[in-house]
């Protein structure tokens, strides 16, 4: 019998639509059980149903492959520092760029961070909307979710212009820059730079490489640039010159989460890149 997703899933996207899960990782299970109060036996069907609806709205690999179930910020070495700072200083602001369902933001809230200090931003309104149904918190969550295009920056007016005025101390931006070729990454980063308060940080995880350069991307004929720490620093030096700011990049490349066999997305040079980009001026 055909799985239900066969009905809504466009055929051309089959290659990045995994079979329904039979179990989820412990972090997302814990978040859904304790924060969202989903009964343990309902967690897996709930996740599969949300994945199907999310994919029908936006057929991205990160949804088809269930990557949104990885609470990325938790894997960053500054996670505890970020969480404590947000709890101890109510003036601290956190912004999640390309937040998808808002899963990392909910993890912070579940650990005691006041939700009004947190903002999510994504170009896809349906994903943020579905986030309320995923985490069952429409009535309680006080975070704002903004629909905006990082590439358009201030030229799109509100809500971006208000964000630029207020700025954030901590920006989380995972699995976003690696989607694009280097010139596009620089263009987006110039807009992101204008959202960061002095001494603020941009943190995240993305696909990196021990041989930085352009690699074929999912769309036929397109490329995306994979960084190491040094190429990422060069990019932010260029962003700094263009925005009259200065940035210090640190981070690590490792093989955690790399799919062992070569596939359409990763090759032998691929690494997980965890980065921290600090605005030093």
Locus of tokens 């990082």: 150
Taking the alpha carbons of 25, 268, 73, 145 in that order, is the dihedral positive or negative? negative
The stretch among 5-13, 34-42, 145-153, 236-244 that binds ligand SAM (CB under 6 A) is 145-153
How far apart are the C-alpha atoms of 164 and 174, rounded to whole Å? 20
**Using a CB cutoff of 8 Å and minimum separation of 24, what contacts does 25-30 make?**
25/69, 25/70, 27/70, 27/71, 27/74, 27/107, 28/69, 28/70, 28/71, 28/103
User: Which residue, 87 or 217, has its beta carbon nearer to ligand SAM?
Assistant: 217
Inter-axis angle of helices 103-110 and 79-88, to 10 degrees? 60
Q: How far is the CB of 159 from ligand SAM (least distance, A)?
A: 12
Q: How far is the CB of 260 from ligand SAM (least distance, A)?
A: 21
- Secondary structure class of 54 (helix, strand, coil): helix
Task: Build a one-symbol-per-residue string for 54-93: x at contacts with ligand SAM by CB under 6 A, - elsewhere.
Answer: --------x----xx---x---------------------
Q: How far is the CB of 41 from ligand SAM (least distance, A)?
A: 26
- Secondary structure class of 38 (helix, strand, coil): coil
User: Which residue, 33 or 149, has its beta carbon nearer to ligand SAM?
Assistant: 149
**Residue 119 makes contact with ligand SAM by CB under 6 A:** no
DSSP class of residue 227? B
143 with 119: CB under 8 angstroms? yes
The stretch among 48-56, 97-105, 230-238, 266-274 that binds ligand SAM (CB under 6 A) is 97-105
Q: How far is the CB of 262 from ligand SAM (least distance, A)?
A: 21
Among 117, 119, 143, 174, binds ligand SAM (CB under 6 A): 174
User: Which residue, 75 or 234, has its beta carbon nearer to ligand SAM?
Assistant: 75
Q: How far is the CB of 3 from ligand SAM (least distance, A)?
A: 23
**Residue 175 makes contact with ligand SAM by CB under 6 A:** yes
Q: Which two tokens stand for residue 40?
A: 């343990």
Residues 99-118 that bind ligand SAM (CB under 6 A): 99-100
Among 52, 107, 122, 228, binds ligand SAM (CB under 6 A): 122
**Residue 238 makes contact with ligand SAM by CB under 6 A:** no
**Residue 237 makes contact with ligand SAM by CB under 6 A:** no
229 with 253: CB under 8 angstroms? yes
**Residue 98 makes contact with ligand SAM by CB under 6 A:** yes
Contacts of 263 (CB under 8 A, 6+ apart): none
> What is the Cα 104 distance to its own chain's centre?
8
Binding region for ligand SAM (CB under 6 A) = 62, 67-68, 72, 98-100, 122-124, 127, 149-151, 174-176
């Amino acid at each position: 019998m055909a799985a239900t997703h066969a009905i809504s899933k466009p055929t051309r996207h089959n290659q990045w639509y995994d079979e329904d899960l039979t179990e989820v990782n412990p972090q997302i299970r814990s978040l859904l059980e304790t924060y969202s109060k989903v009964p343990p036996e309902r967690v897996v069907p709930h996740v599969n149903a949300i994945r199907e609806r999310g994919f029908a709205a936006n057929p991205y690999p990160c949804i088809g492959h269930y990557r949104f179930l990885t609470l990325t910020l938790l894997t960053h070495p500054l996670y505890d520092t970020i969480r404590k700072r947000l709890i101890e200083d109510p003036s601290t602001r956190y912004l999640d760029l390309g937040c998808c369902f808002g899963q990392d933001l909910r993890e912070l809230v579940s650990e005691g961070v006041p939700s009004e200090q947190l903002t999510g931003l994504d170009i896809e309104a349906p994903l943020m909307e579905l986030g309320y149904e995923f985490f069952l918190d429409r009535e309680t969550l006080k975070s704002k979710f903004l629909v905006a295009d990082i590439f358009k920056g201030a030229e799109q007016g509100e809500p971006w212009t208000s964000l630029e005025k207020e700025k954030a101390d901590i920006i989380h931006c995972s699995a976003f820059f690696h989607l694009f070729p280097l010139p596009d990454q620089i263009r987006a980063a110039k807009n992101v730079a204008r959202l960061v308060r002095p001494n603020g940080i941009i943190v995240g995880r993305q696909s990196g490489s021990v041989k930085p350069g352009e690699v074929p991307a999912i769309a036929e004929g397109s490329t995306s640039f994979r960084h190491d720490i040094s190429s990422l620093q060069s990019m932010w030096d260029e962003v700094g010159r263009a925005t009259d700011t200065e940035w210090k990049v640190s981070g690590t490349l490792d093989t955690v989460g790399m799919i062992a066999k070569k596939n359409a997305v990763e090759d032998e040079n691929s690494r997980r890149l965890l980065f921290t980009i600090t605005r030093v001026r």
